[in-house]
Amino acid sequence: MKKAQKYAPILPVLMAYIALFVVGKGMTGMWQLVATLLFYCALGQAFNIFMGMTGYVDFGYVAFMGVGTYGMALTITRFADFQGFGVGIIIIGFFAALLFSTLLSLAVGAVALRLRGAYFAIATIGVNEGFRFLIEGARIWNGSEGLIFTAQLNQILGKQSASRLAVFWADVIVFGIAIFAACLTLAYMRSKIGYALTALREDEDAAKVMGINVTKYKIIAFVTSSCIAGLIGATSWALKTPYVFPPEVFEIHYTIEAIIIVLLGGAGTLLGPIVGGLIYGISKYYLSVILPGFQLLIFAPIIIVIIIMFPEGVVGVFRKKIKGTKLERYFM
Amino acid sequence: MVLEQLIGNLIQGLVLGAVYGMATMGLSLIFGVLQIVNVGHGAFIMVGAFITYWLFTALGLNPIFAVPIAFVFGMALGLLFYYTAMKRLIKAPELASLLVTFSIGVLLQEIVKLIFGSEFRGYNWVVGKINLGITVLPMTKLYAAIGSVLIAVLLYLWFNKTRYGSAMRCVVEDSEGARVCGINVGGVYAMSFGLGIGLTVASGVLLTMFIPVGINPYMGGGYTLKAFVIAVLGGLASPYGAFFGGLVFGLIENGSYTLFALIPGVEPFALTRFFSFMILLAILLVRPTGLLKAK
Amino acid sequence: MNRTRVSIVFVLCATVVFVASSAFAAESIIIGHPACLSGKYAKAGEQAIGGIKACIDWVNTSYGGVSLGGKKVPLEYKYYDCESSKEQVTSLIGRLITVDKVNVVFAPYSSGLTLRGAPIAESRKMLYMDHGGANNKIFEQGFEYIVQTIGPATSYHQGTLNMIKKIAPKDKKVAMAYEDSEFAKMVMQGAREHAQKLGFSVVFERTYPKGVTDLTPLLSALKASKPDFVLGGGHFEDGQLFNRQMADLDLDVKGLSLIAAATLPAFYNALTSMAEGVMGPSHWEYGVKYAETEAKKLGLRWIGPDQDAFVALFKKSLGKEIIPDYHAAEAGAQVLAYVLAVEKAKTTDTTKVRAALGDLTFMSFYGGWDVDDTGLQVGHSMVDVQWQDSKRIIVWPEEAQTGKPCYPMPTFAEKAKGKKATP
């Protein structure tokens, strides 16, 4: 495949994100909504790298976001007193987040990736909950009291910048993360990794028999997906919200949201998470405005209907329709 | 003194574990026969709890009578959900069924909230208690435990002595083979799902006999997680395994508390939970079929 | 059903709903609120909305509206459901500020969510009023636009300790058992310090995790330490469980004080006779003696409906026969504080109103109100409520009493036989 053709699918992705950015900056009052939508899209993109491409359901996914948040939060609180580091501390925070999520995912991977299907799902829940109770039980990282650090953030960056960070720059960073995740997804899909993962998603035993090193590719996808989750946690949670409480950052409902977003859009597709994130985020938002208190009542049956009738997601259905046309190579 | 407390806690744990175990049997049954993990498990327990509460406060009905009523209600609910949603998901990737069962759980929560409000409810069924010296056991807890054991025994008889039960076992072994033998596999699936949900809702009744307060629409979540650990302990596909898993879990949860409490500066309850999840991981790695011999 | 048809119908419905939701506002002062109507804080959120609506109703009808620039301006209330979730809080506050152009934002319930919305409110210099976040640390972060109406966490158990010191000075052994969460820990930290100051000795102190289902192991250990009275800390479910399992274990003590749960009507409904004699600190309880006459005696400005009027307005606004609890009262009091501040500052400009709030002291049906420089509430005192003969009696402080405390409370065995807690 020609280079250009190979990477053409990134165009709709970039267009979508740029459009979001423009809408957010342009229309009044939309930026915070766009920020939330972006959070969901990025979450979906990251989750898709592992779940979408391998078909394994990591039910404890939010744990990676959680440790990423802690990485950033701990860096901010421990380094706040060092004068003159300024933005550098935030950058160190990102590295800490990456480090924590890589370590956790390697640990989890070593244990859980040997299992399949429902066993894998439950094992990952085990890790998620286990880790959360470890923090609360052994009272590490300030235990269940969590960390509140607006004051330290103000100390590091100065009040104005810290405020700007929380309401604007953090979201810009999330844009970056989302685009980065999309590019990675495409790179994986177009490379050996993609072939291996598709093979193992279809039939893992057959893939093994064919000589594909299934474990190696699973780990690559798993760690990538987890690291991006860590970055999202560090940004959308630690930088945007000046506190960390263990029960909140290990809450399973974020994993469920990630699953919904990926499935809604189309698991394993490039555009799926974006479409899913937008549909999910917008529906939730407007439902909470129009029918406060009843969103879940409406959402739950809708999700059931969608999963049963459109299991391949919006993008999956769309791709079926445009098969054989020129559009096909732009929409993955 | 610590030993006294330990034994006291272990006794309480055993009683609690019987109820937990019974609550998990439905989950394992559904997974064993249909290969579906019911992530909305806790919500059905919650439904059972509300049925008990309502029957007791509105009709003055003894919770013991609530058990069969809840069971029948649960079966009906299960069959309803099977024919409208689950049927199409038998052959689908587990992701779809995970998400659908979760959504069903959420739907139940919201409906109950609409009917009862989000207030925390409870009821007071006074039947006295037994003083064992080292600990005090309320009779309601004892009834709950006895009820759980009875139901487990009934289930055993069902599986081994009735035609329908045997049919279910055949389907677990080999669904294609069972079809060839003339067994109505679709019917077995429906019955199993109905039975599983019925058991779960009934267990909600027993659970309130153990903890008759704090009943609210969102109470299910914690029980779902516990159920997963117990189901794995006993072997995901085996309902009796679930019962024994529950007993073991109850013992571990309350027993380890005494030991963790001896360590200064830690939160013993949280560590107990951490410990139980570590055991879950260990078992999944070493003996995924659970602690009992493979069925 | 054909899949395309299903999707078309769906999209059409969504568009219709979306279009129909566009609304327009008239000349009024708008209060914005990303409330918790579903999710874990649903109950508190519902109460808060009832309280806010009740007081807004009072302001617009009995009070006539807010006096501004020679006119009487009505209050308007715009609220959405944040689902007790962080992500919704920021997007909804963003909408309230920019699209709905509200003049003040009321924070969502709970310290965590209050904190989540603080940066965005602060960045827009939007007044942010906190009625549900009691964590003192919120006010140590340097936010300039946040003002608290709820009492801070550390003060919760101080009243109980003061009371026991006065009526039973020989009972020195206190046991503390509480939820392992930031709020409860803060409460107990305040309690511990105050207890030590007053000369009590803490013979037992242990935590339990959120969402605990069985407290028996902890309570067995507590029983062994033989305390005179017990201070508990947590929320609604564990509060009920705590009392219930103490009864199961025949764990008799002379006094039991539980935060959050014990003062709500649902508590007695769930526990009946076991709850007799159980106490709890509360920000507000129906029956407190705050009235215009009290305010005059203390030389404080009085505003707002009296208790009974508030309860009536509350029931009307929710359309249900439920009694307001302190969540409703503190949210309602916030409306009154805001109105007074706007009238004092003679403008709705948020910076000036915030300054006016800083200087404001007044009394309402909720009690006293006064904030320090950081916005922390210092003028409001908590009351201690005790269940006596299935009624809630305010037993402390003496100026707010509607009855004397019953101490020691009857044993669980006596209560099961029908003995009531009477002084």
Asked if C422 is an interface residue toward chain B (Cβ–Cβ < 8 A), one would say: no
Banded model confidence at residue C6, pLDDT cuts 50, 70, 90: low
Q: How far is C262 from chain A (nearest CA, A)?
A: 23
Question: Distance between CA A289 and CA C92 in Å, rounded?
Answer: 8
Q: Do A304 and B35 touch (CB under 8 A)?
A: no
Instruction: Tell if the CB–CB gap between C241 and B211 is shorter than 8 Å.
Output: yes
Cβ pair B269:C180 closer than 8 A:
yes
Cβ proximity of B74 and B197 under 8 Å: yes
Distance CA B128, CA A155 (A): 60
Question: By the CB < 8 Å criterion, does C87 face chain A?
Answer: yes
C contacts of B122 (beta carbons < 8 Å): 240, 244, 269-271
pLDDT band of residue B99 (cuts 50, 70, 90) is: confident
pTM of the model: 0.83
pLDDT at B292: 53
Tens digits of residue pLDDT in C47-69: 999 999 999 999 999 998 888 88
Residue of chain A whose alpha carbon sits nearest to that of C97 = A29
Mean pLDDT of B140-163: 87
Residues of B in contact with A311 (CB under 8 A): 92, 96
ipTM: 0.81
Q: Over 90: is that where the pLDDT of B233 sits?
A: no
Per-residue pLDDT, C150 = 87
Q: Annotate A143-162 with DSSP letters as a single string.
A: GGG-EE-HHHHHHHH-HHHH
In one letter, which amino acid is B101? T
Contact between chains at A243 and C185 (C-beta distance less than 8 A): no
B270:A137 CB<8 A: yes
In total, chain B counts a number of residues equal to 295
Burial of B188-221, coded b for 16+ CB within 10 Å and e otherwise, reads bbbbbbbbbbbbbbbbbbbbbbbbbbbbbbbbbb
- Could you tell me how far CA A148 lies from the centroid of its own chain? 24
Token couple for C232: 């508990």
- Token representation of residue A227: 């690291």
Q: List chain B residues with CB under 8 Å of C275.
A: none
Least confident of B51-60, C25-34, C324-333: C25-34
Is C42:C319 a contact under the CB 8 Å cutoff?
Answer: no
Q: Do C181 and A245 touch (CB under 8 A)?
A: yes
Q: What is the pLDDT of residues B185-224, one digit of tens each?
A: 888 889 889 999 999 999 999 998 888 888 888 888 888 8
Residue pair C358/C371 in contact (Cβ under 8 Å)? The answer is yes
For residues C406 and C421, the answer to whether their CB atoms sit within 8 Å is: yes
Structural contact between residues C217 and B12, judged by C-beta atoms closer than 8 angstroms: yes
pLDDT average, residue stretch C297-323: 88
The reply to whether C207 touches chain B by the CB within 8 Å rule is yes
User: Does the pLDDT at position C20 exceed 50?
Assistant: no
Chains with ≥3 CB–CB distances under 8 Å to B: A, C
Taking CB atoms and an 8 Å cut-off, how many pairs form between chains B and C?
112
Q: Concatenate the DSSP letters of all residues of C258-292 into one string.
A: ESSSTTSHHHHHHHGGGGTT-EEEES--TT----H
Which residue do the tokens 């999700």 mark?
A303
Q: What per-residue confidence (pLDDT) applies to B262?
A: 78
Model confidence pLDDT, tens digit, residues C24-33: 444 889 999 9
The pLDDT mean for chain C works out to 86
pLDDT confidence band for C7 (50 / 70 / 90): low
The mean pLDDT of C403-412, rounded to a whole number, is 88
Where does residue C247 fall: left (phi above 0), alpha (psi -120 to 50 degrees), or beta otherwise? Answer: alpha
Q: What's the gap in Å between the CA of B79 and the closest CA on chain C?
A: 22
- Residue type for position A80: A
pLDDT confidence of residue C51? 94
Does residue A257 contact residue B106 with C-beta atoms inside 8 Å? no
pLDDT for position C17: 54
> Cβ contact (<8 Å) for A304 and B280?
no
Q: C2 pLDDT exceeds 70?
A: no
Residue of A nearest to C141 (CA): A151
Closest-CA distance, C182 to chain A, in angstroms, reads 4
Cβ pair C238:B122 closer than 8 A: no
Q: Which residues in chain A have their CB less than 8 angstroms from residue C86's CB? A: 237, 241, 248
Contact of C207 with C179, CB cutoff 8 Å:
yes
Question: Residues, chain C, total?
Answer: 423
Q: Do C17 and A293 touch (CB under 8 A)?
A: no
Average pLDDT of span C239-258: 89
* Chain B contact present for A58, CB below 8 A: no
Mean pLDDT, each 10-residue run in order, chain A (332 residues): 70 86 81 88 92 85 91 86 77 91 89 80 83 81 80 80 82 90 88 85 82 84 93 89 81 86 86 90 84 78 82 81 73 70
- Asked if B271 reaches chain C (Cβ–Cβ under 8 Å), the answer is no
* Residue of B99, B236, B267 lying closest to A136 (CB–CB): B267
Chain B segment 262-291 residues within 8 A of A by beta carbon are 265-274, 277-278, 280-281, 284-285, 288
Question: What is the C-alpha to C-alpha distance for residues A282 and C14, in angstroms, rounded to an integer?
Answer: 11
Per CB-CB distance under 8 Å, the chain C contacts of A146 are 182
| A46-55, A302-311, B142-151, C304-313: range with lowest mean pLDDT | A302-311
Task: List, for residues C191-247, the tens digit of each pLDDT value.
Answer: 999 999 999 999 999 888 777 778 888 888 899 899 999 999 887 778 888 998 888
Of C3, C115, C143, Cβ closest to residue A243: C115
Higher-scoring residue by pLDDT: A200, C108? C108
Which A positions 52-71 lie with beta carbon below 8 A of chain C? Answer: none
With both helix axes pointing from N to C terminus, report the angle between A272-290 and A10-26 in degrees, rounded to the nearest 10.
30
Kindly state whether C81 is in contact with chain A, defined as any CB-CB distance less than 8 angstroms. Answer: yes
**Which tokens in the block code for residue A146?**
């969590």
The per-residue pLDDT for range C146-161, each reduced to its tens digit, is: 999 988 888 889 888 9
Is C208 in the B-facing interface, judged by CB distances under 8 Å? yes
B27 closest CA partner among A302, A118, A257, A116:
A118
**CA dihedral defined by A188, A191, A195, A201, rounded to 10 degrees?**
-10
Contact status of B238 with chain C (Cβ, < 8 Å): no
Assess contact for C289 and C311: CB atoms under 8 A: no
Q: Does B1 touch chain C (CB under 8 A)?
A: yes
Report the sign of the C-alpha dihedral through residues B54, B57, B61, B67, in that order: positive
Taking CA–CA distances from C262, the nearest residue in chain B reads: B120
Whether B254 contacts B209, CB under 8 Å: no
DSSP string, C123-171: HTT--EEESS---GGGGGS--SSEEE-SPPGGGTTHHHHHHHHHH-TT-
Q: Quote the DSSP letter at residue A234.
A: I
Per-residue pLDDT of C330-340, as tens digits, reads 999 999 999 99
Strands (E) in A89-180, as ranges, are 147-148
DSSP E strand stretches across C150-244: 173-179, 201-208, 229-233
pLDDT of residue C22: 44
- Dist. CA C372–CA C147, nearest whole Å: 9
Query: What are the angstrom distances between the C-alpha of C379 and each of B101, C152, C304, C330, C358?
Result: 50, 11, 17, 13, 12
Quick check: C106 pLDDT over 90?
yes
Smallest Cα distance from A48 to chain C, Å: 20
Q: Between the CA of residue A168 and those of A25, A33, A181, C288, C353, what are the distances in Å?
A: 10, 12, 20, 46, 26
Q: Tell if the CB–CB gap between B281 and A127 is shorter than 8 Å.
A: yes
CA distance C358 to C148: 10
Q: Do C46 and B16 touch (CB under 8 A)?
A: no
Q: Which residues of B touch C177 (CB under 8 A)?
A: none
Higher local confidence (pLDDT), C130 or A312: C130
CB contact under 8 A, A117 and B94: yes
Nearest to C142, CA basis, from C175, C168, C115: C115
Q: How far is B214 from chain C (nearest CA, A)?
A: 5
Q: From the list B136, B218, B226, which residue is nearest C249 (CB)?
A: B136
In this predicted structure, what is the pLDDT of residue C25? 41
How far is residue C190 from each of residues A147, B286, C170, C183, C201, measured CA to CA in Å? 19, 48, 22, 11, 14
Query: Partners for A (CB, 8 Å, 3+ pairs)?
Result: B, C
